Chains A and B, each alone.
Chain A
Amino acid sequence: MRGIYIHIPFCLRKCPYCDFYSVRFDEHTAEEYTDALIRSFKNPKYKGLQADTVYFGGGTPSALPPRLTGRIMGALYDSFDIDKNAEITIEANPCTAAQIKLRQYREMGINRISFGVQSADDSELEGLGRIHDFERAQRAIEDAHRAGFENISADIMLGVAGQDVQSLMRTAERLTSLPITHISAYMLKIEPGTPFDNERTRAAIADEDTVSDMYIALCEKLEDKGFCHYEISNFAKAGFESRHNLKYWTAGEYAGFGTAAHSLYKGQRYYVPKDIAAFIDAPFQQEIEEEEPHSEREEYIMLALRVSEGLDEKKLISLYGEENTGRLMSLAKVYESHGLCRISGGRVSLTPRGFLVSNTIIVEFLHAVGLA
């Protein structure tokens, strides 16, 4: 079973830290874009696609009027074989998730919603340039729950200006007292070219040591609250891990539709350029193959170390051979003695401290197996 990703490149307002592709919402373009998306489902390459997850990402998918979301959902069911127990997620801004819209989402078959809450502290939210306050976010979550969503996720941001470990703990407390099943926690990163890309902001946000302390504290807190740390940035109550996102890390396949979407389909990676007008013009001529072909040998270590299951020694041996794997395992033992990873049951996984330095560990492991 594969996943389906739909990119909705519209926002009411662009957040100053965000560098994902989106344009300002206008109804006419949204209409044209929806038509283009639906046409793109007819791409013969994806004929007969069976999917057990669907994910509306953005942008702000909830900025799309429900009738357009509904048309897309209808076309998905018409074009593809969507499993009846499929996980169907939509990302939503607390401000664009009115009660009635939430009910409509449920009626279309959407069963998982992910809110960009970011913080429970209004001054931190203001610093992030968000258009909602925490009360609004709280209400949106409760409304979604009342509308019948049993799988609700909230995003939070680490390292925001004015934030400290205590305020982050307060955010975690408040969020976990709400009916949510999943939390994504991202460390604020200043992306080049965004409004945050300036010296003043850089000086105001938390330094690396502080962000690292926050991350470790949050991991402990959420474990306490019954959220399992199943991926670098993701925490879930048992059984509520995002099945769609896990596909990315476990070499599961997914077909991406819309501008800026990425796919891994029949062993090949594709992407659609970030150009909404071009996509509207010719939806399925847009897909481009990634220059480097998908190779499990190249990608396994990098992807598998993102999830708490980590690396499987048997799999390592089949990909890289006994000798290389032996080198990797002895390196892992050194890291284990420094509290960066765990080795148990033939698996190597990272601890929270290891996740924090995972890029370096990945490169070292790649080096150990002769890939760097």
Chain B
Amino acid sequence: MSEHNQSNIRNFCIIAHIDHGKSTLADRILELTSSVELREMEDQLLDNMDIERERGITIKARAVRLNYKADDGQDYVFNLIDTPGHVDFNYEVSRSLAACEGAVLVVDASQGIEAQTLGNTYLAIEHDLEVVPVVNKIDLPSAEPERVCGEIENIIGIPAMDAPRISAKTGVNIKEVLEKVITDVPAPKGDPDKPFKALIFDSVYDPYKGVIIYVRVMDGSIKAGQTIKLMATGAEFTTVEIGYMGAKDLVPVGELGAGEVGYITASIKYIGDTRVGDTVTRADAPCDEALPGYKKVQSMVFSGVYPADGAKYPDLRDALDKLALNDASLTFEPETSAALGFGFRCGFLGLLHMEIIQERLEREYNLDLITTAPSVIYKVNLTNGETIMIDNPTNYPDPALIASAEEPMVNAHIFTPQEFVGNIMELCQDRRGNYIDMKYLDDTRVDLHYELPLNEIVYDFFDALKSRTRGYASFDYEMKGYVPSKLVKLDILLNGEIVDALSFIVHVDKAYQRGRKITERLKENIPRQLFEIPVQASIGGKIIARETVKAMRKDVLAKCYGGDITRKKKLLEKQKEGKKRMRQLGTVEVPQEAFMSVLKLDE
């Protein structure tokens, strides 16, 4: 322990539902601890990415060290670790929590507890964190802090009546939160004399320094120039720089000691070497055993990602390489589709992760993408006794070779005002859900518990839920395991030819309905061609739905007057441009929108 006494360190995170004011509270805390000059304040300082700011979500964990002089006259060091707020990043959240002794639970004074908040709070309690409830947005006219405090006590079962009532927006009572952290959150209790042992809770790639690993030191200490070992991967590196995360910059220090949060650089080239949850120790004086809880992150949702313009394939590869530098949970491998050309099969932690990656590729790397329908991993037991895992419909075996198939299920909790229960039950029923139970959170709000197949929610479940509840319901899920299921591969044929990029795996009971919807949607989105195009859905060669794109009747510039052919030329140039935006599938031209339209079927 170099500068600070462990008893004056507080390591905590903030748990909140989207929009309940986590980032705003973090900003206020930074302001109050004078970590950032007022004139340098930019709203929501911790969320660096545009997407994070816009969506009000945190995608990557981040940490900051703050100095605070408390009412008891002592100086404290706060390490605020910002956790991702979404179920897709559940594992990352759990590792961030493991780096803390306490969690500030922010609840909106008018909306009360939401599904994600509850999930993450339970996760915090599981990690033995001290939960400090805070009621935010008391400035709103609809604020009911007393009711919400009651709700926290009833649902979570922690005392909340003396919870600070604050407004992060106007800055009311922020100091009270910090005082609460000091009194309620325990100080770290690491042993400075034991061998060095630290938890990696995040890592980022820096083009100059290589991978920067964010660690919480549990025991012992570390200095620059020492050799570290990452226990899960076994990789060894010599540390180059040790420091802590200031509000604006990384601040190098001589040593990081037990209980502290900071960073290590060691000329590490691949982020894959520094896995979140892994334990860092000294190579020459290792600790006995690694910290518990490490898992290799597994992709849950897969999708083909193709450049709309085939020539942009190398650009897409570079962009994915760059994103993967900072995101060890993004996996991708080259894939070829007869319909879409060269692209990548990408694996994501979940739906939000998938959306974010696609959005970042389009925005930050200026790529126009075509993505195929998301798929989950199916377990297929073959007649020869072998079991294979299928994440790509293209690889789905011939039905004759399949003994049985299994699909992943999730436990889903939907928090909703009571009035929408009927709508949601209808939706879950339609998505092959099994009703488990329903709990009243208070007089008006309900926790609906369903078991749902993951492949039913990877499509457009969020959108469907939102539209059926006017946006009021929230949703959280966790993996449950595999169950046997009657699955079939549904193929889509244009002009009699299978379009591989449109094939997907579906439960047999849903196949007919889905096939009909997709053929209808394609018919609407494929422009008339020179001749009639049948659009068909088939299972194992048997046609189950058919639509027809009618033949084009008229596309002619009949009058070319006085030898003026420029007009015709311009018109043809425009048509050529239009053709470039089309995908040629055999003799049929399909616009990008047609591929996208089949991804959103719930309308």
Contacts and interface: CB of A to CB of B under 8 A. Distances in A.
Interface in B523-544: 530-531
A262 interface: yes
Given A340-B530, A357-B553, A372-B579, A262 B572 contact: no
A298 B473 CA distance: 59
Interface string A246-266: 011000001010001111100
A25 interface: no
B364 interface: no
A93 interface: no
Best-buried of A20, A262, A271, A290 by chain B (most CB within 10 Å):
A262
Given A5-B563, A261-B562, A357-B530, A302 B568 contact: yes
Given A262-B563, A262-B565, A359-B557, 15 more contacts: A5-B562, A57-B562, A187-B558, A189-B559, A212-B553, A248-B565, A264-B563, A299-B565, A299-B569, A302-B572, A334-B587, A340-B530, A356-B553, A366-B572, A372-B576
Contacts of A260: 562
Contact of B530 (A269, A303, A364): A364
B564 interface: yes
B560 interface: yes
Contacts of A232: 556, 558
A232 B561 CA distance: 13
Contacts of B74: none
A359 B572 contact: yes
Interface string A108-136: 00000000000000000000000000000
A292 B563 contact: no
A260 B561 CA distance: 11
A342 B566 CA distance: 27
Given A212-B553, A358-B555, A292 B569 contact: yes
Of all A-B residue pairs in the complex, the 10 with the closest CB atoms, nearest first, are A372-B576, A212-B553, A338-B531, A262-B564, A262-B563, A359-B555, A208-B554, A233-B558, A248-B563, A363-B575
Contacts of B338: none
A268 to B, nearest CB: 13
Contacts of A269: 565-566
Nearest to B576: A372
A160 to B, nearest CB: 14
A290 B555 CA distance: 26
Contact of B576 (A262, A290, A340, A366): A366
A356 B559 contact: no
Contact of A359 (B561, B575, B587): B575
Contacts of A7: 562
A279 to B, nearest CB: 15
Interface string A347-359: 0000000011111
Nearest to A209: B553
Given A302-B569, A359-B572, A367-B579, A211 B554 contact: yes
A262 B571 CA distance: 18
Contacts of B563: 5, 247-248, 254, 256, 262-264
B49 interface: no
Best-buried of B531, B558, B563, B576 by chain A (most CB within 10 Å):
B563
Nearest to B577: A372
Interface residues of B, number: 26
Contacts of A256: 562-563
A192 to B, nearest CB: 12
A358 B556 contact: yes
A360 interface: yes
A248 B562 CA distance: 8
Contacts, number: 97
A355 B556 contact: yes
A7 B563 CA distance: 11
A57 B563 CA distance: 11
A186 interface: yes
Interface of A: 5, 7, 20, 55, 57, 186-187, 189, 208-209, 211-212, 232-233, 247-248, 254, 256, 260-264, 269, 271, 290, 292, 299, 302-303, 306, 334-335, 338, 340, 355-364, 366-367, 372
B555 to A, nearest CB: 5
Given A7-B562, A335-B530, A359 B556 contact: yes
Contacts of A57: 561-562
A252 B553 CA distance: 31
20 contacts: A186-B559, A187-B556, A208-B554, A212-B554, A232-B556, A233-B559, A261-B562, A262-B562, A269-B566, A292-B569, A299-B565, A303-B565, A334-B587, A340-B530, A355-B556, A356-B554, A357-B530, A359-B555, A359-B571, A363-B572
A218 to B, nearest CB: 12
B569 A360 contact: no
Interface of B: 530-531, 551-566, 568-569, 571-572, 575-576, 579, 587
A356 B555 contact: yes
Given A187-B558, A302-B568, A334-B587, A363 B553 contact: no
A20 B576 CA distance: 26
Contact of A357 (B554, B561, B587): B554
B309 to A, nearest CB: 15
Contact of B560 (A212, A290, A306): A306
A361 B587 CA distance: 12
A314 to B, nearest CB: 23
Contacts of A233: 558-559
A334 B529 CA distance: 13
B419 to A, nearest CB: 43
A358 B563 CA distance: 18
A247 to B, nearest CB: 8
Contacts of B566: 262, 269, 271, 290
Contacts of A358: 555-556
A208 B558 CA distance: 14
Contacts of A361: 530
A262 B569 CA distance: 14
Contacts of A263: 563
A358 B560 CA distance: 13
A186 B558 contact: yes
Best-buried of A209, A360, A364 by chain B (most CB within 10 Å):
A360
B496 to A, nearest CB: 13
A363 B573 CA distance: 9
Contacts of A357: 530, 552-556
A329 to B, nearest CB: 15
Nearest to A331: B587
Contacts of B568: 302
A360 B530 contact: yes
A5 B561 CA distance: 11
B405 to A, nearest CB: 40
Given A7-B562, A271-B564, A338 B556 contact: no
Contacts of B531: 338, 340
